[in-house]
Structure 1
Amino acid sequence: MNHEHHVHEGESLLDAARDRLISSGEQWTDMRSAVFEALAGFDKPASAYDIAEAVSKSQGRRVAANSVYRILDLFVGSNLARRVESANAYVANAHPDCLHDCIFLICDNCGQTVHLDDDSLSGGVRKAAASAGFTAPRPVIEVRGTCGDCETN
């Protein structure tokens, strides 16, 4: 899947997320917007509790983590967010209009997470899965280690 895709940020990311969700037949509600904005505002993967706290502060009322989990599940299914399984946390997808396999590089020291799109790397995973009679439509690969900043400190 080699093609150019536009990485969104700020207002452009919010617009792209809204457009993607609406095109999948879902509504872009005020709460979904608030959850997405909070998620996109984190520089590291955020838990549903982190996001609920951020939305609660911005709206001046308590927002339950259960509500946030439901919205995050919708976002993952709609390609607006990615779930970092090993951290039970989420990151906003900077290009929700493109479907790619997902590779996360996660620093065990500082928690910084880099999201790579390299379908050629996950091709081997797909091939191995297929040879075992297993279908892996969108594999997620997580690599834990030490980021360059922590390595030099």
Structure 2
Amino acid sequence: MAHTHDHRIADGAELALQAQHALEKAGEQWTPMRANVFAALAAFGRPASAYDVAESISRSEDRRVAANSVYRILDLFVAKNLAQRVETANAYVVNAHPACRHDCIFLVCDGCGETTHIDDDVLTDSVRRAADRAGFTPIRPVIEVTGRCHNCAAN
């Protein structure tokens, strides 16, 4: 059975406020551009690339936003636990509990791209211990399982 810890999943304005507080607590500024990137990423509801986010902001602000600027912000968000990178999709998702730092597991559907985030500290702690035994110091384990979601598997 998976060990879980208490954290509350937020969304909308509450999630943006939690992200802002977490970023400021980390000594960074919550700029209008960072707020726009976070809001755009959160609105996708699926993993989104920097290009997706840049295009979304460009449309909403009727001005061109460069993907390289978005990449820098997304990298900061990952470093400060506001977003997570889904490696197999080369994309990002918002962290729905930015005040809670732990390793995550992503289930990525090969059919529709839906990505589900699950927490299993027993499993991720085991991965960290195995890395330690191999003489490797893990920084941020990334565990992704590709397959078919319930809807795609039924079709």
**Taking structure 1 as the reference length, what is the TM-score of the superposition?**
0.97
Structure number with higher relative contact order (C-alpha < 8 Å, ≥ 6 residues apart): 2
- Aligned residue for 1:16, secondary structure, equals helix
| One-letter code aligned to 1:32 | R
For residues 66-92 of structure 1, give each alpha carbon's deviation from its aligned partner in whole angstroms, at most 9, with x where no partner exists. Answer: 000000000000000000011110000
- Aligned residue for 2:73, secondary structure, equals helix
**Taking structure 2 as the reference length, what is the TM-score of the superposition?**
0.96
| One-letter code aligned to 2:122 | S
Unaligned runs of 5+ residues in structure 2 are: none
Equivalent runs, 1:80-95 vs 2, <5 Å: 80-95=82-97
Question: Does 2:134 match 1:150?
Answer: no
CA contact (8 A) 1:102 1:138 kept: no
Aligned length: 153
CA contact (8 A) 2:48 2:92 kept: yes
| RMSD over equivalenced CA pairs, Å | 1.0
Alpha-carbon separation, structure 1, partners of 2:103 and 2:120: 7
Question: Does 2:108 match 1:140?
Answer: no
Equivalent runs, 1:58-69 vs 2, <5 Å: 58-69=60-71
| One-letter code aligned to 1:98 | C
Percent identity of the aligned residues? 62
Unaligned runs of 5+ residues in structure 1 are: none
Question: Does 2:48 match 1:29?
Answer: no
- Aligned residue for 1:22, secondary structure, equals helix
